[in-house]
């Protein structure tokens, strides 16, 4: 059997709307028989952080950063009209209206369809966060060479 | 057109009808026909494209009062 077509997404952003777009495309690819990989880097790591508990890190600066940048799929702000969470709540209401799943639900579906989640270890090192900060759905922890190895064989490659 | 299995995607938007179709197809035998009932207009183009990519056969679409009945045969 021929090798499956591949799709690689870089999710750099940590906002709900951008994550929705990323998972929408990832699910479409997986449902169309593609091998899909999402690299979560920089603010994108917030999408795959656990929703519960605290984020452990070392040092004052990193603790401050992780306090302000808590993350978790349920905490992602909107990139526009967030309005201290009011805009986001309204947007989620509109999504519920059309039975559109929330980010955490889309992530579970993506996992079920075999979408691979890879977390960027450089950002983890810089922000001082370990694997225990992330949901169990993360398949591996890697750097740019792994991204290149995937992306060079991908017919769809997006940076979100 | 007669289908072996029908799934209800009324009220669901992209990508859910396609995701649900892919999930359902996995459980079906080659040659069986799936009917997807949906009201998101995107399905008119999405389903033929999906079928082409996945080696399934798009059989047609019946439109009535803003509802679409889409038929796909598993390849």
Q: Residue A150 falls within a domain, yes or no?
A: yes
Burial of A111 (0-12, 13-18, 19+ CB in 10 A): middle
Closest to A109 (Cβ–Cβ): which among B12, B13, B19? B19
Question: How much is the pLDDT for A58?
Answer: 84
Does CATH place domain B5-73 in 3.40.190.10? no
pLDDT higher than threshold 60 for residue B68: yes
Catalytic residue among B1, B4, B10, B14: B14
Are B15 and A113 within 8 A, CB to CB? no
Q: Residue A1 falls within a domain, yes or no?
A: no
A140 CB within 8 Å of a chain B CB: no
A160 CB within 8 Å of a chain B CB: no
Compute CA A23 distance to the chain's CA centroid, rounded to the nearest angstrom.
Answer: 8
Q: What pTM did the predictor assign? A: 0.92
Range of the domain at A144: 6-159
Active site residue B9: no
Note whether A13 and A38 are within 8 A (CB): no
What are the residues of chain B with a beta carbon less than 8 Å away from any beta carbon of chain A?
A: 11-16, 18-19, 21-23, 50, 53-55
Give the span between the Cα atoms of A34 and A151, in whole angstroms.
13
Tell me the domain boundaries of chain B: 5-73
What is the DSSP secondary-structure string of B1-41? ---SEEEEETT--TTHHHHHHHHHHHTS-TT-EEEEEE--T
Residue identified by tokens 């639900």 is A105
Are A28 and B12 within 8 A, CB to CB? no
pLDDT in tens, A91-129: 999 999 999 999 999 999 999 999 999 999 999 999 999
Which alpha helices (H) appear in chain A, and where do they start and end?
16-31, 60-68, 86-97, 103-112, 121-127, 144-151
The residue of chain A with its CA nearest to that of B39 is A98
Give the span between the Cα atoms of A20 and A142, in whole angstroms.
23
Stretch B43-67: mean pLDDT, rounded? 95
Let me know the angle formed at the C-alpha of A160 by A73 and A132, rounded to the nearest 5 degrees: 35
pLDDT in tens, A6-43: 999 999 999 999 999 999 999 999 999 999 999 999 99
Note whether A107 and A85 are within 8 A (CB): no
Distance in Å, alpha carbon of B62 to nearest chain A alpha carbon? 23
Give the span between the Cα atoms of A41 and A159, in whole angstroms.
10
Give the span between the Cα atoms of A36 and A30, in whole angstroms.
6
Distance in Å, alpha carbon of A120 to nearest chain B alpha carbon? 27
pLDDT higher than threshold 70 for residue B66: yes
The domain total for chain A is 1
Question: How much is the pLDDT for A2?
Answer: 66
A24 CB within 8 Å of a chain B CB: yes
Q: What is the CATH number of the domain that holds A28?
A: 3.40.1260.10
Question: How much is the pLDDT for A77?
Answer: 97
Looking at chain A, the whole-number percentage of residues with pLDDT higher than 90 is 93
Residue identified by tokens 């439109």 is B63
Q: How many residues does chain B have?
A: 75
pLDDT higher than threshold 60 for residue A1: no
């Amino acid at each position: 059997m021929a090798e499956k077509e591949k799709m690689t997404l870089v999710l750099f952003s940590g906002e709900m709307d951008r994550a929705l777009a990323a998972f929408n495309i990832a699910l479409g690819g997986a449902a169309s028989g593609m091998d899909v990989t999402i690299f979560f880097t920089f603010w994108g790591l917030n999408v795959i952080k656990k929703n519960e508990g605290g984020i452990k890190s070392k040092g004052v600066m990193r603790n401050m950063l992780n306090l302000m940048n808590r993350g978790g799929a349920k905490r992602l702000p909107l990139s526009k009209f967030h309005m201290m969470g009011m805009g986001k709540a309204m947007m989620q209401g509109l999504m519920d209206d059309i039975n559109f799943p929330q980010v955490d639900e889309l992530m579970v579906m993506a996992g079920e369809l075999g979408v691979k989640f890879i977390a960027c270890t450089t950002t983890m090192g810089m922000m001082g966060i370990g694997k225990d900060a992330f949901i169990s759905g993360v398949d591996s922890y890697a750097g740019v060479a792994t991204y290149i190895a995937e992306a060079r064989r991908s017919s769809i490659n997006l940076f979100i | 057109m007669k289908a072996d299995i029908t799934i209800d995607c009324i009220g669901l938007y992209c990508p859910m009808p396609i995701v649900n179709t892919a999930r359902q197809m996995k459980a079906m035998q080659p040659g069986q026909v799936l009917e997807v009932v949906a009201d998101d207009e995107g399905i008119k183009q999405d389903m033929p494209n999906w079928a082409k990519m996945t080696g399934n056969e798009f059989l047609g679409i019946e439109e009535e009062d803003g509802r679409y009945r889409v038929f796909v045969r598993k390849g």
